C-alpha cells in the first residue's frame, strides 16, 4: 500500500479552488479510484468548509476601538521608556567622556596653562587674603572663559541626561 500519489498536489489545488473552477473529469475519476487522493480530497474539503464558515461568521472589531487601543498602548510605551533609569554603563561612559574633555581642555587651553603658572609663581609668598583677591582678579580678567567653562560643565551633562531620558 502506498502513502503518496504523484497527483496529490493537483488534487489539493483542485479541491481548494473548486469554487472558482470545476474539477476536471479526469481528476474526478482519479480521486474516486485513488485511496490517497480520496482521503486528501475529503480532509481538504472539510478544512476548506471550516475556513469558509469561520470567515463568514467572523466579527471584526470596531475601527475606533482599535485606534483607541493603539493610542493607549503607545502612550503606555512612552511612559515606560521615559521612566527607564539611566544605566550604570551610560553613566560610566559619560563620566569618562567628560573626564577626557576636561583633560583635553586643561592641556590645550592657554587660559588654564596661564592659571597654573600663575599659581606656581604665587605659591612661595602665599598670603590667604592676597591670594583670594588675586584669584578673583584673575577670574574677573578672564570672565568669559570661565563663563563658557561653567556653561559646558553644567549644560552638557544636563543635555546628555535629557537626551538619554527621552529614549
Ligand atoms: Zn492519487
Query: How far are the Cα atoms of 130, 137, 148 from residue 105, in angstroms, in the given order?
Result: 28, 22, 12
Together in a domain, 93 and 156: yes
Query: By C-alpha distance, which of 160, 157, 165 is closest to 81?
Result: 165
Instruction: Tell me, yes or no, whether 152 and 95 share the same domain.
Output: yes
**Does residue 125 have a pLDDT over 70?**
no
Cα–Cα separations (whole angstroms), residue 93 to 79, 98, 127, 161: 25, 9, 41, 12
Full-model pTM: 0.36
Same domain, 95 and 53: no
In a domain, 33, yes or no: yes
Q: Higher-confidence residue: 108 or 125?
A: 108
- The yes-or-no verdict on residue 76 having pLDDT over 80 is yes
- Which of 134, 110, 107 lies closest to 122 in space, CA to CA? 134
* pLDDT at residue 155, as a whole number: 79
Tell how far the Cα of 53 is from the centroid of ligand 1, in angstroms: 27
Spatial separation of the C-alpha atoms in residues 145 and 112, rounded to whole Å: 10
| Cα–Cα distance, 141 to 21 (Å, whole number) | 94
Looking at the chain, the number of H-run helices and the number of E-run strands are 8, 0
Residue 42 confidence (pLDDT): 93
pLDDT at 167: 57
CA of 25 to the centre of ligand 1 (A): 14
How does pLDDT run across 45-63, given as a tens digit for each residue?
899 888 888 888 888 888 9
pLDDT tens per residue across span 80-98: 887 666 666 677 778 888 8
- The pLDDT of residue 48 is 86
Same domain for 97 and 34, yes or no, is no
Is 17 within a domain?
A: yes
Number of domains into which the chain is organized: 2
Range of the domain at 96: 88-165
Q: What is the pLDDT of residue 127?
A: 62
In a domain, 1, yes or no: no
| Residue 50 alpha carbon to ligand 1 centre in Å | 24
Domain-located, residue 37:
yes
* Cell numbers given for 155: 549644560
Amino acid at each position: 500500500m502506498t502513502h503518496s500519489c504523484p497527483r496529490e498536489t493537483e488534487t489539493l489545488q483542485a479541491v481548494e479552488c473548486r469554487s472558482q473552477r470545476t474539477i476536471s473529469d479526469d481528476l474526478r475519476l482519479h480521486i474516486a479510484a485513488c485511496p490517497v487522493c480520496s482521503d486528501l480530497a475529503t480532509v481538504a474539503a472539510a478544512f476548506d468548509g471550516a475556513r469558509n464558515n469561520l470567515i463568514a461568521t467572523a466579527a471584526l472589531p470596531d475601527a475606533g476601538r482599535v485606534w483607541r487601543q493603539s493610542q493607549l498602548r503607545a502612550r503606555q510605551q512612552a511612559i515606560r521608556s521615559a521612566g527607564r533609569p539611566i544605566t550604570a554603563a551610560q553613566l560610566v561612559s559619560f563620566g569618562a567622556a567628560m573626564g577626557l574633555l576636561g583633560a583635553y581642555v586643561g592641556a590645550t587651553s592657554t587660559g588654564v596653562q596661564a592659571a597654573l603658572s600663575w599659581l606656581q609663581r604665587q605659591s612661595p609668598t602665599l598670603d590667604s587674603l592676597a591670594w583670594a583677591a588675586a584669584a578673583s582678579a584673575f577670574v574677573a580678567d578672564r570672565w568669559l572663559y570661565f563663563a563658557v567653562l561653567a556653561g559646558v560643565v553644567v549644560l552638557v551633562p544636563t543635555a546628555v541626561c535629557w537626551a538619554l531620558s527621552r529614549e
